[in-house]
Structure formats: C-alpha cells, structure tokens
Amino acid sequence: MSGTFLGMPAFPVNAADAVQNSQLRHNLRRATHTIRDKRSRVVAEVPDWAELRSAAKAIKDAALRDLDRHLLRLEETVQAAGGHVHWARDAAEACRIVTDLVRATGETEVVKVKSMATQEIGLNEALADSGIHAYETDLAELIVQLGDDRPSHIVVPAIHRNRAEIREIFLRAMPDASPDLTDDPAALAEAARLHLRQRFLSSKVAISGANFAIAETGTLVVVESEGNGRMCLTLPETLISVVGIEKVLPTWRDLEVFLQLLPRSATGERMNPYTSTWTAATEGQTFHLVLLDNGRTDVLADEVGRQALRCIRCAACLNVCPVYERAGGHAYGSVYPGPIGAILTPQMRGMGTPLDDSLPYASTLCGACYDVCPVAIDIPEVLVHLRDRSSHPRAERAALRAAGWMLARPERLARAQRLAFRLRRLVPRRLPGPLSAWTDTRDLPDIPPESFRDWWKRTEGGTR
Amino acid sequence: MRVALFITCITDTLYPQTGRAVVALLRRLGCEVDFPERQTCCGQMHLNTGYRDEAVRLARRTKRVFGKSEIVVVPSGSCAAMIREHYPRLGAEMPRVVELTEFLVDVLGVTDVGAYFPHRVTYHPTCHSLRGLGLGGRPETLLRAVRGLELVPLPRADECCGFGGTFAVKNPAVSAAMCADKVGAVLDTGAEVLCAADNSCLTHLGGALRRQRTGVRVMHIAEILASTESGGAGRTAGLSTPEGAR
C-alpha cells in the first residue's frame, strides 16, 4: 500500500488527539448521523434486503473462489473489445505502469475520477514526481486536494470538513473562485463546477478506478453521483482504469444485486445518479486496464480474513461506527479508515508496525458494522482473528498469562478474590501507569468482602 | 426445573449481590439452582484481546464443568454470546446455554416475575445482548411488568457505551468519549437507575456516573427483578448498595 501514511503513530495516539478536536467531533457526528439515518430509512423500504445481502455475499464468495479464472476471462474480453490489460503486483509497479502510459501520450495533466485504488497506491504523488499533475474532479476529493489534506472517509473523503471550512479552502486555493463566495452548498458546488469545466474539456487523459469489472463481457462500472465521472470517462482520448483484482464479478447479471445494495448502503439513495458502464474503449479512445494486486492475494490466502475482499466500499460501516465517529478517518493512517480499514489495512500491508498492529484493536466489537454491511462481512470476527496475530506489549502478555493461570483453577480464583478485598484499601483512587487509562475518567468498583462462590459455599447455596 | 448457574467471573468477584438476586429470582419462579463450583471464566477477555490459546483452554474447561447440566443460565449478555457465537469455533460447543432474560421469557414463559421496584429506570441494551444474542425486547418486557417501575427510553440506546473489555484501557480516549455521550443520554432521561443485563458494561458506566457525582446508580436487571415489597434478594430495594457499588 501507499507510503503516504508510513511512520504514523499507533491508532490510540492519533485518536487521543482527534477526540479533543471539537470542530472535527461536531462535523463527524452531524455527517455520520445524517447518512446513517438516511441509510436506515431506505434499507427498511426493501422487503428482501436480507436476501439481497446473502446473494451479494454468495456472488462475491464464488467470484473470489475462482478469481484466477475470472481474471483471465476479464483480460480476454477486455482485449477482444480493443482494450489493453496490464498486471500490477504492487503499488510501485502500478504507479510505474500508469506513469509510463501517461508519458507515452506526451501529456502533463490528467483528470481523475474518484478512486480508492489510486489513492491506495499513492498515484497522484507518483505522477507528480514525474511532472504530471493529476486533477481530482470529485467534489470532495477536490476539497481534499486543494486543502493539501488527506481523505478521511471512503465515500465522503472530506467528511471532516464543514461548509465554512470548504469555503475557506476554495478562496485560498482556487484562483477562479469569486471573493463573494458564500458557504451555501449550491454556491460551493457551482464554484467547483466552473473550476473543473475547462479541465474536462481540455484534458486528453483520464484516470479512474472501477466499482465492478464484469469478466463475462469485459465491462467496467463506475458508480458516482456528480457526473464528473461520466465526463472523465467519455471526453479524454486516453482512459486508464486502475482496478483491484477483487472487483471482478463473473456475469453481467450479478450487477443487479449490487446496484440495489450499494447506493442505499453508501449514501442512502434508492438509485444511483450516474452509473457508467463501458466495455473497453469508446469510439476513438484508447483504453488501459491496470489490474492491481497490492496485497490482495495475501488477504485471499487467509481463510478468516479473506471475507474482507467482498467489500464494495460503501462505507456504511464507517457511518455507524462509534469509534470512527469520535476518532475520525485520519487516525487509521490509511485510505481505508473505520471498521473495514481496521481489517483491510493490516492484512494488505502485513502487520508489524505499531500503527498496523494497533488497528485490529480500534473497535469495541460492538457489531454495528456487521449489521449494516451489505455483503455481510463479519468484521468483529476478522478483528479478533487479527488480534491473535498482532504483537502484544510485554506487560499485557504477562498480565493476561497470569489471569489465565488464575482462572485455570477455581481455588486460585477464590484466593485471588479474598486477597483483592484485603488489598483494596491500599489501592489509590487514581492508578499509576497504563492503568490510569481506567481511573482517569472512571471510579474503580469496590471489592465486596465475600465473592459469590464464597457466599454459596458458606451458606450452602443460600439455604443456611 | 433444574438449572445450572454460570455466574461469570466478573459477577462472582465484584457483584455477588447480582448472583444472589439471580438465585432468589430463579427459586421464586420454582427452579432448582445448581452452582458447579469448578467454574471460573468463559475466556472472552482472552479471546477478544488476542490470546486465542488461553481462551481455548478456558472455553474447554467451562464446557467440561457444565458437561452434565441440562440447561445453563448466564446473567450476562456478552458471556452468553461468547459461548453461543464463539465456542463452536474454539472446539467447545455448548448447547442449551441461555442468557437470564431469555430463560425467563422463552424457557419459563414468564414476563411478570412478581417484582416491585418503585423507581424511574432506563435500560441500556448492551451490544452483545442486542446484536450478538438478539435479546430484542425481552428485558424491557420484563421491566415493564415490574410494579411501581417507570421505564424511560434511553436515547440512542443501541450505541455502544465504549467499554469493549480491554478496549477501555487500550483506547482510553475514544472509550471515555463514547462513555461521556452515553452518560449524557442517561442523564437526559432523568432516571435514578441505569439498568442492563451485563455487569461488565455497568462497571464502566457506573464508574463514570460515580466519578461525575451524577447520583444515578447502576443495577443489573436481575437485582430489579428479584426485588419485592418485602425486600427481595436479601436487601431493601432503593437503598444504596452496601457492598460492591459500581
């Protein structure tokens, strides 16, 4: 994955800063609750939601089971329709392929459709190193790019900004913005529209991702709501699409299920506003498909963890996550934040850094994410699975081992209970060291003079 | 009916009054209660913190200890969910394990347990009871039938309180932020008592309510259901808990 976030501290450190940021907390609470409520209303309207969800799970699982076959089929159908197919093992290789393709056109500017895969590989930075400027055309990605910022949400990358902040960013970084610009959402959208219009008309190269890739027909699908994607996909002479290998669907028919699940889960819309499908190149256009692994085959090799590859990037899990709501997306140190990021990032990058080892713990295991996931990824199950593989602090390991030893025999537990009561009065109200994490905001519970088991024994089950 | 009680380590150690209330309640409803004394802990903390091997040992010994029991009652949503959801994956499948309110409503078929508790109460459904076990409205149904009890709805009740076991210590800032919002919601109800079917979440919430001197006390649902006009589970309802205050 991208090097953009390397060297970031562990999640608890990042989150501790974020929870103190009242503007961020306010923006996130408002935005996540709005989308959450909208989603829950439109999902409740669909009588066969549960069936759609299991169908989506089954289709994705089947596609992943025979991924090699479907990918070769996709290569065949895309080539047959006049497209070029490239295979990229990792981020560096993908960036090199795309950079070379753009260089070959002689262009130094490209327009971009919002894409998680290109964010993941740090494509904009790689292009910039080669003197190519990539212009983001999705409104929220534009806000992030102009603000020299990082995305903090999968569907709404600028969710951490409110409209007053967006106005300031536009006034600062958009030379053609009117000084009278207000923070009315329509006015902000209009400013962005005028700013982007010329780019759409003049750019010769566009770069996109894809929500789905249909092996049977060689068709790629982009689901977006602003129309900027449609402009990028149709106007430029060269189109380069960077697509994760897990985006493959075997047949055109499979799409029906996902086009019902995705808009309702992602934005709470009944139907998606702009769904573009293209089979290799449109007339007069050159089309390149870059198929990206970048850690995905490692995820596929893990029997428990592989379900994360079913993800269709709807971000419903982010919008319901109480931890995401308070920590914000940047704390996760990845373009994939929230519950899905907490299981995807450590698997794709491989664990071992303090940040990646801390991500599986960025959850209370409350299960809200699993409830809303349209492809039924059991995120808590994968989190617990990854925790077992994570490296543990020495003091914690010692404490948990000691607890395990004590709980292995009821006699040891009973002795510990009696000892705890005797020692309780020696314990201060505020504990030192890592345990202050509890007593900084909470009182310790009292220790009763007699445990339940001692009471049961003494009274013979309360009969004496 | 003969039932085996899995009291759970946290209730055994910190909240024996909850355990005594469960025993009194079950006996009042005509059950014979066994307490297999070899029991200790279900292993949830080890599993969820990333110590699967230790969790497997605890799970298998719990299964052994309750091997002969016909039905096991657990007064904790999260421990019951651990056994039901995770034990099969740990090679320790345990059939016939039910959470207390499930046992009352589904097995005994009782919704009015004859309790008396003249207080304003709000109920927090706790994540593992709500989403793990799918307890649904069972606890509220039981509480509504308690004479004198005024049940007030908790705003945004389905949201996690921020405890999450070792999460509370490993991610203290986010845990405290979530707790603050839950405490705010509890205070908005004007309730005297915050009730739940899980003592672990109540340790966290009760610790914060006490630290902030809110005057709101927390009680396990069993303690409310065991209360009667004559005092219930060996103590007078409404008085501050003499021991094991959270």
Q: Look at B178 and A456 and tell me if their CB atoms are within 8 Å.
A: no
Q: Nearest chain A Cα to B209, which residue?
A: A442
pLDDT at A431: 87
Judge whether B203 lies within some domain: yes
pLDDT at A2: 47
Tell me, what's the ipTM?
0.94
End-to-end CA, chain A: 66
Judge whether B207 lies within some domain: yes
Which residues in chain B are contacts of A445 at CB distance < 8 A? 14, 203, 206-207, 244-246
Domain ranges in chain A are 3-297, 402-459
Domain containing residue B25: 2-107
Spatial neighbors of A44 by CB under 8 A, at least 6 apart, are none
Instruction: Single out the residue in B107, B129, B162 at which a domain terminates.
Output: B107
Kindly report the average pLDDT of chain B as a whole number.
93
| CA torsion, ordered A162, A164, A165, A171, to nearest 10 deg | 140
- B48 vs A365, A389, A420: nearest CB: A365
Q: How far apart are CA A178 and CA A383, in angstroms?
A: 48
**Cβ atoms < 10 Å from Cβ of A180:** 7
CB pairs under 8 A between A and B: 201
pLDDT at B98: 97
Q: Look at B167 and A462 and tell me if their CB atoms are within 8 Å.
A: no
pLDDT at B246: 57
The pLDDT tens digits along chain A (464 residues) read 544 566 788 999 999 999 999 999 999 999 999 999 999 999 999 999 999 999 999 999 999 999 999 999 999 999 999 999 999 999 999 999 999 999 999 999 999 999 999 999 999 999 999 999 999 999 999 999 999 999 999 999 999 999 999 999 999 999 989 999 999 999 999 999 999 998 999 999 999 999 999 999 999 999 999 999 999 999 999 999 999 999 999 999 999 999 999 999 999 999 999 999 999 877 789 999 999 999 999 999 999 999 999 999 999 999 999 999 999 999 999 999 999 999 999 999 999 899 999 999 999 999 999 999 999 999 999 999 999 999 999 999 999 999 999 999 999 999 999 999 999 888 888 888 888 889 999 999 999 999 999 999 999 998 88
Q: Look at A367 and B164 and tell me if their CB atoms are within 8 Å.
A: no
Best mutation target among B2, B3, B40, B128 (most A Cβ atoms within 10 Å) is B40
- A443 vs B43, B172, B207: nearest CB: B207
Q: What is the CATH number of the domain that holds B53?
A: 3.40.50
Domain count, chain B: 2
Instruction: Kindly state whether residues B64 and B24 are assigned to the same domain.
Output: yes
The most distant pair of C-alpha atoms in chain A lies apart, rounded to whole Å, by: 93
Which residues in chain B are contacts of A326 at CB distance < 8 A? 174, 177-178
Q: Nearest chain B Cα to A420, which residue?
A: B13
pLDDT at A366: 97
Q: Nearest chain B Cα to A25, which residue?
A: B177
CB A160 within 8 A of CB A329: yes
Instruction: Kindly state whether residues B178 and B128 are assigned to the same domain.
Output: yes
Judge whether B114 lies within some domain: no
Phi, psi dihedrals of residue A239, rounded to the nearest 5°: -120, 125
State the 10-residue block means of pLDDT for chain B, 246 residues long.
97 97 97 97 97 97 95 98 96 95 98 97 97 95 98 97 95 97 98 98 97 97 95 45 46
pLDDT at A434: 80
pLDDT at A80: 96
| CATH homologous superfamily of A3-297 | NagB/RpiA/CoA transferase-like (3.40.50.10420)
Which residues in chain B are contacts of A388 at CB distance < 8 A? 50-52
Which residues in chain B are contacts of A365 at CB distance < 8 A? 48, 127, 164-165, 167
